[in-house]
Amino acid sequence: MLIAILGIIILIVGIVLKRSPEPGSHYANIVRVAGVIITILGLLSSSVKIIDPGKVGVQVLFGQVQDQVLESGLHFIDPVVDVTTFSIQTENYTMSAKTSEGQVQGDDAIKVLSSDGLEVAIDLSVLYRVKANRAPFILQNIGADYEDKIVRPVTRTAVRDNAVNYQAVDLYSSKREEFQFKINKTITDNFSKNGLEVQQILVRNITLPESVRQSIESKIQAEQDAQKMQFVLQKERQEADRKRVEAQGIADYQRIISLGLTQQQWQSGDLRRFIRWMDIDHCGNRPASGAEGSIRTSNTG
């Protein structure tokens, strides 16, 4: 549009030169023609608008926001219309304690108070996008700086309002998914009213007070020690059971030897294998060379 305005100015200058005395009037026709050409080119360029991929355009005519949204591509519009573009791609707004992350430099983690009165720092990322059909509403009622007016304050308030219902340890462990679900719902509902769509809420890190962290670490260490002791006790019980079975086997073997056996019983293969097994596996020594003979002798006699 500036080019068209420049062309009109040049055209006016040409008209003025036409009425002026020589030698200025000699160039009046050339200036007027140039002004007309520049004005036409300016109007043509202002009538053509290209919207980049992943964006939409909102038209404003003399301060009035138009409801029709210009999607990505080439459009012919009124030369006097001003077009404001909005990205409809996924955007990431991060609030983190690390200075190198997030839109705000420095420690931007969300500080909240838990139900037990402890201060917890939460790093969080919001993935969202502008709804294409609600872009005129955003421009009319919020403005192009919706990130500072809606995304940041709504997110931080939702986290604080929900965190107060949980103890610090629960936020860190067992209730983390439930907490994330609740803040997701709160933020989604609020964003939707303002023309934004939440795609995902990421609770990236929860930092507990140092005293609480030490308490948790001590508890985990105690649980690990208890599990280790249970394993040792179980192993000792198994060893005691093994020794008890071994002792019982040795006692049974000695009782059989002391009672004496008949020749027919001794010749039974199963019994002889049992005695041999008892000698090797439990006593560690085979019976004396005369033991078997002595049994036979006593039984035959």
Q: Which residues pair with 113 in a beta bridge?
A: 119
Structure tokens at 88: 């409809």
- Write the secondary structure of 131-188 as one string of H (helix), E (strand) and C (coil): CHHHHHHHHHHCCCCHHHHHHHHHHHHHHHHHHCCCCHHHHHCCCHHHHHHHHHHHHH
**pLDDT for the residue numbered 230:** 85
Contact in structure between 54 and 88 (CB atoms under 8 Å): yes
Q: CA angle 21-26-32, nearest 5°?
A: 105
**pLDDT for the residue numbered 58:** 92
Q: How many CB atoms lie within 10 A of CB 171?
A: 25
Please give the Cα distance from 25 to 160 (Å, whole number). Answer: 75
Cβ-based neighbours of 229, under 8 Å, separated by 6 or more: none
Q: Which residues pair with 95 in a beta bridge?
A: 124
CA distances from 134 to 2, 128, 191, 220, 293 (A): 29, 14, 11, 50, 106
**pLDDT for the residue numbered 299:** 43
Please give the Cα distance from 243 to 174 (Å, whole number). Answer: 44
Please give the Cα distance from 136 to 185 (Å, whole number). Answer: 25
Per-residue pLDDT of the chain (301 residues; tens, 9 = 90+): 666 566 567 656 666 666 666 665 556 666 666 666 766 666 666 677 888 999 999 999 888 898 889 998 888 777 778 889 999 999 999 998 887 777 787 788 888 888 888 888 899 999 999 999 999 999 999 998 999 999 999 999 999 999 888 888 888 777 888 888 999 999 999 999 999 999 999 988 888 777 666 666 676 667 777 888 888 888 888 888 888 887 887 877 777 777 665 555 555 555 556 566 555 554 444 444 444 444 444 444 4
Write down the pTM of the prediction.
0.59
Q: Residue 111: enclosing H or E segment and its boundaries?
A: strand 110-113
Structure tokens at 110: 């969300």
**pLDDT for the residue numbered 291:** 44
- Candidates 73, 198, 77, 86; CA nearest to 140 is 86
pLDDT tens, position by position, 76-87: 777 778 889 999
Q: Where are the alpha helices (DSSP H) in the chain?
A: 2-19, 28-47, 135-141, 146, 152-163, 168-172, 176-193, 210-259, 263-266, 269-277, 291-300
**pLDDT for the residue numbered 100:** 75
Q: Is the peptide bond prior to 79 cis by the omega test (within 30 degrees of 0)?
A: no
What percentage of the chain reaches a pLDDT higher than 90?
25
- Cβ-in-10-Å burial (0-12, 13-18, 19+) of 257 comes to middle
Please give the Cα distance from 11 to 16 (Å, whole number). Answer: 9
Instruction: Please give the backbone phi and psi of residue 63, each rounded to the nearest 5 degrees, phi first.
Output: 85, -5
